[in-house]
Amino acid sequence: MKMAETILKVENLNVKLDDELIICNLSFEVKRGEVLTILGPNGAGKTVLLKTLLGIFPFEGKIEWKKGIKIGYVPQRVPFVKDFPISIEEFFKLKTKNENEIKEVLKLVGFKESFLKKNLGELSSGQYQRILVAWALVGNPDVLLFDEPTTGIDISGEETIYQLLERLKKEKNLTIILVTHDLSVVFKFSDYVICLNKCPICQGKPKETVTPEALSKLYGQEIKFYEHYHGH
Amino acid sequence: MVTNFFSILISGIFVGGAAGYLGSLMLSKKMTIIVDPLSHLALPGVALALIFQKDISLGAFFFLFFGAILIWFFEQKTKLPTETIIAILFSISLAITFLFLSEHEIEEALVGDISKIGKLDSLIIVFISLFVFFLIQKIYPKLTLISISEDLAMAEKIDLRKYQFLYLLSISAIVALGVKFVGGLLVAGLTALPAASAKNLSKNLKTFRFLSCLFGILCAIFGISLFQFTGYPAGPLIVLSGFLIFLISIIFKK
């Protein structure tokens, strides 16, 4: 089997926002077709990392995407405007004029064409997340950056968001970088994991890397704080 | 009764349409409320224009634009909430206006006076309204995306600053024209009412944009016609027509 090509190389990444160090000394590589999970507590800089990879935040160090790589992005909790008068079709047309492509990505995430006429505000949160995934797939990206997929199950018992990602990865040869604080995702779904709490705590293959010791180091401060708080 | 009724009506239709259209964009950005304090920022400009007998829209436009930049600057420097800064500038604007203007001029600045609009004015107004209309048309998709999610917009490499600047430019131009029609106190009604009515009747963006624009035009036609027949000031009549449309839209709300 041929070695998969490296599509992202990050070296000594440091991100400072408003003079506060958010990410320190992070280095890693992503190969085509891999699933990389970034695990860490709230405020650990996970979302900032994704946005930095997208080129939204300034940084020190090196971020090197393979030339011509296309990136799709599914942000965390897009403020959901319940009564915004916009149909799903119009939402997609903010990104592409190609109607066939819109139908195609919609089908990929398991929606019928008739869905296009629906109002964005009519969707359940699970459906909405799927629409955002479809939106990210417009333009046929090589990489999907996904911020905190929610694990909630749809009432209709459709495939979970992880089954969907698994399928997309196979069908579209997608590389996936996702952010989560959900441990089960790391073990079931990832090839590589980075435990991040501003600085990387551990990184490698999930089974070898995510040990109880590493976890207590990653979430340790939070637990201590919690006990302290209840001591009063 | 005025003799230049058609010049006024044509100008009103174009300003109303552009203002309504802009209003739909502002409503989706939850920004309609900002027109109100912004329009007050225009008042010292109106005052200066009246004193030097220049066109009040011209004075309004420069002060608005200057005011908007000042808001932005104070925000960066002080980190105070935007509302606070607007409130500060708002009272200063009014203070300056009241200091320099006579009672009649204050009335003109606050509720507008369209009786002086001639053919040439009308032509300029139509031209600027059309320009703003097409500018809004052009920035609409990007600004909609920005208002749905700044993150998505930035990931799409949309230059937020550029679009916010163009947006502010459109607002300044419309408020400046609106001040002439309905005055500095009522111009928010010119943008907010058509959009609010349109939203009651729309499930998608296409209908929303179209109705907003249409209602803006209808407000102007009703208001200016009523002004012609009753002789009451046009500004309040235009805004009240907008309110009537709003009430009707509530009855048919989807």
Phi, psi of A87 (to 5 degrees): -85, 165
* Per-residue pLDDT at A232 exceeds 80: no
Chain B closest-CA separation from residue A97 CA (Å): 12
**Euclidean distance between CA atoms A217 and B20, whole angstroms:** 57
SS3 at position A27: strand
In chain B, which residue's Cα lies nearest the Cα of A135?
B152
Q: Which pLDDT band holds residue A231 (cuts at 50, 70, 90)?
A: very low
Q: In this model, does residue B206 exceed pLDDT 90?
A: yes
Residue numbers in A near B205 (CB within 8 A): 85-87, 90
B160: distance to nearest CA of chain A, Å?
A: 11
Percent of chain B with pLDDT over 70: 96
Contact B203 A87 (CB under 8 A): yes
Query: How many whole angstroms from its chain centre is CA A168?
Result: 14
> Between these two residues, A9 and A216, which has the higher pLDDT value?
A9
Work out how many CB contacts closer than 8 A connect A with B: 60
A135: containing domain: 6-231
pLDDT digits (tens, 9 = 90+) for B68-114: 788 778 877 887 777 788 778 888 888 888 888 888 888 777 777 78
The three-state DSSP-derived secondary structure of A102-139 is HHHHHHHCCCCHHHHHCEHHHCCHHHHHHHHHHHHHCC
A194: enclosing H helix or E strand: strand A192-197
The model's pLDDT over B172-185, given as tens digits with 9 standing for 90+, comes to: 899 889 888 888 77
B2 phi/psi in degrees, rounded to 5: -125, 155
Between B2 and B44, where is the model more confident? B44
> DSSP letter at B157?
T
Residue A169 lies in a domain: yes
pLDDT for residue B34: 66
Average pLDDT, chain B: 86
Residue A198 has pLDDT above 90, yes or no: no
Residue extents of the structural domains in chain B: 5-249
Say which of B152, B155, B203 has its CB closest to residue A85: B203
Q: Residue type at B176?
A: A
Structure tokens at B154: 């930035």
CB contact under 8 A, A75 and B144: no
Tell me which chain A residue has its CA closest to the CA of residue B205: A86
pLDDT category at A230 given cuts 50, 70, 90 is: very low
Q: What is the pLDDT of residue A152?
A: 59
What tokens does B228 get? Answer: 């012609």
Per-residue model confidence (pLDDT) at position A224:
46
- 8 Å CB contact between A156 and A130: no
Decide which of A159 and B145 is more confident: B145
Q: How far apart are CA B156 and CA B148, in angstroms?
A: 13
Cβ <8 Å between A71 and B155: yes
Question: What average pLDDT does the segment B43-60 reach?
Answer: 83
> b/e per residue, A203-216, with b = 16+ CB within 10 A?
beebeebbeeebbe
Q: Is residue A26 part of a domain?
A: yes
Helix (H, G, I), strand (E, B) or coil at B165: helix
Identify residue B160 by its one-letter amino acid code.
L
Task: Check: CB of residue B47 under 8 Å from CB of residue B40.
Answer: no
Residue pLDDT, tens place only, A82-111:
678 899 999 999 999 999 999 999 998 889
Contacts of A63 (CB under 8 A, 6+ apart): A8, A9, A10, A13, A52, A53
> Which one of A84, A89, A135 has the shortest CB-CB distance to B28?
A84
And the tokens for A191? 């090839």
Partners of residue B152 in chain A, C-beta under 8 Å: 73, 75, 78, 135
Tell me the C-alpha distance between A4 and A33, whole Å: 8
Residues of A in contact with B204 (CB under 8 A): 85-87, 89-90, 119
The alpha carbon torsion through B155, B157, B161, B167 (nearest 10 deg) reads -90
Q: Which residues of B touch A73 (CB under 8 A)?
A: 151-152, 155
What is the percent of chain A where pLDDT is above 70?
87
pLDDT score of B148 more than 50: yes
Q: Closest approach of chain A CAs to the CA of B202, in angstroms?
A: 6
Both tokens of residue B239? 């805004």
Adjacent-strand bridge partners of A63: A10
Residue B138: Cβ within 10 Å count: 12
User: Does residue A97 form part of some domain?
Assistant: yes
Which of A73, A84, A90 is nearest residue B155 as measured by Cβ atoms? A73
Q: Which two tokens stand for residue B230?
A: 């009753």
Q: How far apart are CA B251 and CA B245, in angstroms?
A: 10
pLDDT at A159 over 80: no
**What is the arithmetic mean of pLDDT over A36-64?**
91
Q: What is the pLDDT of residue A158?
A: 60
Half-sphere exposure of A191 (CA within 13 A, CB side): 13
Q: Please give the C-alpha separations between residue B161 and each of A18, A91, A115, A232, B166, in angstroms, as whole numbers.
A: 19, 22, 34, 48, 9
Would the CB atoms of B205 and A56 count as touching at under 8 Å?
Answer: no
| B148 vs A contacts (CB less than 8 Å) | 78-79, 81, 84, 86, 91, 94
Measured between CB atoms, which of B141, B157, B208 is closest to A85?
B208
Nearest CA in chain A to B209: A85
Chain A positions touching chain B (beta carbons under 8 Å): 51, 54-56, 71, 73, 75, 78-79, 81, 83-87, 89-91, 93-95, 119, 135
Q: ipTM for the complex?
A: 0.82
Average pLDDT of chain A is 84
pLDDT of A227 above 50:
no
In whole angstroms, what is the distance from residue A71 CA to residue A175 CA? Answer: 10
CB-nearest partner of A119 from B155, B157, B204: B204
Give the lowest-confidence range in A64-78, A142-156, B27-41, B213-227.
B27-41
pLDDT digits (tens, 9 = 90+) for B113-143: 788 788 888 999 999 999 999 999 999 999 9
Read off the pLDDT of residues B11-38 as tens digits, 9 standing for 90 and up: 999 999 999 999 998 887 656 666 777 7
A133 in any annotated domain: yes
- Count up the domains in chain A and report the number: 1
> pLDDT grade, residue A48 (50/70/90)?
very high
- Could you give the CA distance from residue A69 to residue A66 in angstroms, rounded to a whole number? 6
Q: Which residue of A has its CA nearest to B141?
A: A94
User: How many CA atoms are closer than 13 Å to the CA of A231, on its beta-carbon side?
Assistant: 7
**CATH level 2 (architecture), domain B5-249:** Orthogonal Bundle (1.10)
Instruction: Tell me the CA distances in angstroms from A150 to A183, B43, B147, one per residue in order.
Output: 13, 50, 23
Residue A120: closest CA among A154, A81, A150: A81
**A75 vs B151, B204, B206: nearest CB:** B151
Interface residues of chain B, partner chain A, Cβ below 8 Å: 28, 141-142, 144-145, 148-149, 151-152, 154-157, 199, 202-208
- Residue B46 — very low, low, confident or very high, per pLDDT cuts 50/70/90? confident
CATH number of the domain enclosing A40 = 3.40.50.300
**What pLDDT was estimated at residue A228?**
41
Q: Determine, yes or no, domain membership for A1.
A: no
Q: What is the dihedral of CA A149, A151, A154, A158, to 10 degrees?
A: 80
The answer on pLDDT for B50 being more than 90 is no
| pLDDT recorded at residue B238 | 93
Rounded to whole angstroms, the Cα distance separating A149 from A104 reads 22
Give the model's pLDDT for residue A223: 44
